[in-house]
Amino acid sequence: MNDGTITGLLRTTVVVGAALAVIGSAIAIAIGHAGSWWAGGGAFLALTTLFFAAFAWFVIPEQFRNPVVWTMAAFACFGGLATAGTASVALIVIDNPDLVNAVINDTATGSDLPLTAAWILVFTAPLWAGSLFTLLTFGLLLFPDGALPSPRWHWVGILAAIGILATIAGLAWGYRPESTVLPEDGALAYTGFLIIAIAAFLSLLAPIRRFPSSSGATRQQLKWIMWGASILLATIAVTLVLAVLGRNRYENLTTVAFLVAAPVFIVSYGIAVARYRLYDIDIIVNRTVVYGAVVAILAALYTALVSTAALLPRSDNDLILVASVLIAAAVFNPLRRRIQSFVDTRFYRSHYDVRHITESFAERIRDEVDPVAISVAWIDVVTETLQPDAVGVWIKGP
């Protein structure tokens, strides 16, 4: 599979996941159950899905072969599917508000639901485990460059995969139409949770293992990751213990603890990325500023034109509306280029200078045939862009 195909598949995956998360969230809010959506963890899953989808979209072209980026794409895909599945079931049982709340809060059993709704949950609801636990295991094990600390860590990855698959299978079995117990109460789901907990703790040892030999930005990244992951893993451990000892007695307490610890882990992951430029985060900031400014300017332009149209006779109104759309489309690219140039020169001056120096060098050597002249030009480029202490060129030939 070539690079372009991999990039296209990964980007399609995150776009679909983000779209499903948005649609599912919109449905939950539109049918009047926004409170349940927030309290039941649906908001957390949807928002983190959108976060990783947006992040992965920008870094995929540069990091399409990095397994850490694949875990982010998996999070976006599985999170979107789980969100959309729950929302579609809520629509099926919309005539029963109590049952809708139970579905969104994940407290409905398979026997409570119509046959179609139960089967939808079988194939979609357990995927939340695939999103979060993939990040919590492989996201730690392979951080930051996508490689294992050593070949001996392969078995930890295998253990994590077994735990994730067992959890998803156990939850799916719990959502089956005739089930009368909550999905997470099944023996297979419990076993899967236990295996994932062990795999996650072992995966946390991977950045700990890398830490002594790390330096600079990588060392700081690992600090953030270890901090956030340790809080979440400690919460999961306590949750498992309370679940075994008290069954559902401490459900509200463990839910609140998890909904606090999980965002802490996500934020620490994001800080490691944003603060220390992992995966070219500058690209994301740059594009966000540029396209945000373009959208704001075009929105203002369109609003002004539409407001003008409202003041004119009806016969001219439609024509101006069409003209507004055409004008916005026509100025989009020129406006984007000008704003991009301004942002590059104002906030990314060194990158901007490097790009223009190398572009001018490429133009100079197109018509140049003298190797000495080319070498002198190349020395100028290296000196201006990299600023080394010394530069040498070896010319081989007659």
State the pTM of this model: 0.67
Mean pLDDT for 6-11 is 90
Tell me: do 40 and 132 sit in the same domain.
yes
How many CA atoms are closer than 13 Å to the CA of 307, on its beta-carbon side? 6
Domain with 28, as residue range(s), is 3-276
Per-residue model confidence (pLDDT) at position 362:
64
- Residue with structure tokens 């046959």? 115
Number of domains the chain is built from: 3
Per-residue model confidence (pLDDT) at position 10:
92
- Which of 245, 261, 276 finishes a domain? 276
Mean pLDDT for 13-27 is 92
* Phi (first) and psi of residue 291, to 5 degrees: -70, -30
Whether the per-residue pLDDT at 307 is higher than 60: the answer is yes
**Tens-digit pLDDT profile for residues 64-121:** 888 888 888 999 999 999 999 999 998 898 888 888 888 888 888 888 889 999 999 9
**Tens-digit pLDDT profile for residues 227-271:** 888 888 788 777 766 666 655 566 667 777 777 888 888 888 877
**Tens-digit pLDDT profile for residues 125-171:** 899 888 888 988 998 898 887 888 888 899 999 999 999 999 999 99
Kind and range of the H or E element at 105? none
Q: Chain-wide mean pLDDT for the chain? A: 79
Mean pLDDT for 335-357 is 68
Per-residue model confidence (pLDDT) at position 127:
92
- Residue 253 sits in a domain of what CATH number? 1.20.1070
**Tens-digit pLDDT profile for residues 161-210:** 999 999 999 999 988 888 888 887 788 888 998 899 899 889 988 888 88
Q: Is 66 helix (H, G, I), strand (E, B) or coil?
A: coil
The end-to-end CA distance of the chain, in Å, is 43
Per-residue model confidence (pLDDT) at position 359:
64
- Which of 229, 250, 276 finishes a domain? 276
Whether residue 340 is contained in a domain is answered as: no
Kind and range of the H or E element at 388? none
Whether residue 101 is contained in a domain is answered as: yes
Whether the per-residue pLDDT at 318 is higher than 70: the answer is no
Tell me: do 271 and 286 sit in the same domain.
no
Tell me: do 326 and 361 sit in the same domain.
no
Whether residue 343 is contained in a domain is answered as: no
Contacts of 357 (CB under 8 A, 6+ apart): 381, 384, 385
d(CA 269, CA 260): 15
pLDDT, greater one: 377 or 203? 203
Tell me: do 260 and 111 sit in the same domain.
yes
Whether the per-residue pLDDT at 33 is higher than 80: the answer is no
Tell me: do 182 and 110 sit in the same domain.
yes
**Tens-digit pLDDT profile for residues 269-298:** 877 766 665 655 566 666 666 776 777 777
Tell me: do 311 and 227 sit in the same domain.
no
Per-residue model confidence (pLDDT) at position 276:
60
Per-residue model confidence (pLDDT) at position 386:
61
Tell me: do 107 and 255 sit in the same domain.
yes
* DSSP secondary structure, 121-187, as one string: HHHHTTHHHHHHHHHHHHHHHTTTTS--SSGGGHHHHHHHHHHHHHHHHHHHHHTSTT--S-GGGSH
Torsion of CA 244, 248, 252, 254, to 10 degrees: 10
Per-residue model confidence (pLDDT) at position 335:
83
Whether residue 341 is contained in a domain is answered as: no
Per-residue model confidence (pLDDT) at position 138:
92
Whether residue 170 is contained in a domain is answered as: yes
Per-residue model confidence (pLDDT) at position 274:
64
Lowest mean pLDDT segment, chosen from 33-42, 74-83, 301-310, 349-358: 349-358
pLDDT, greater one: 340 or 346? 340
Tell me: do 288 and 376 sit in the same domain.
no
Answer yes or no: are the C-beta atoms of 39 and 105 closer than 8 Å. Answer: yes
Whether residue 336 is contained in a domain is answered as: no
pLDDT, greater one: 163 or 318? 163
Tell me: do 310 and 266 sit in the same domain.
no
Per-residue model confidence (pLDDT) at position 283:
63
Tell me: do 219 and 285 sit in the same domain.
no
Whether residue 40 is contained in a domain is answered as: yes
Tell me: do 193 and 322 sit in the same domain.
no
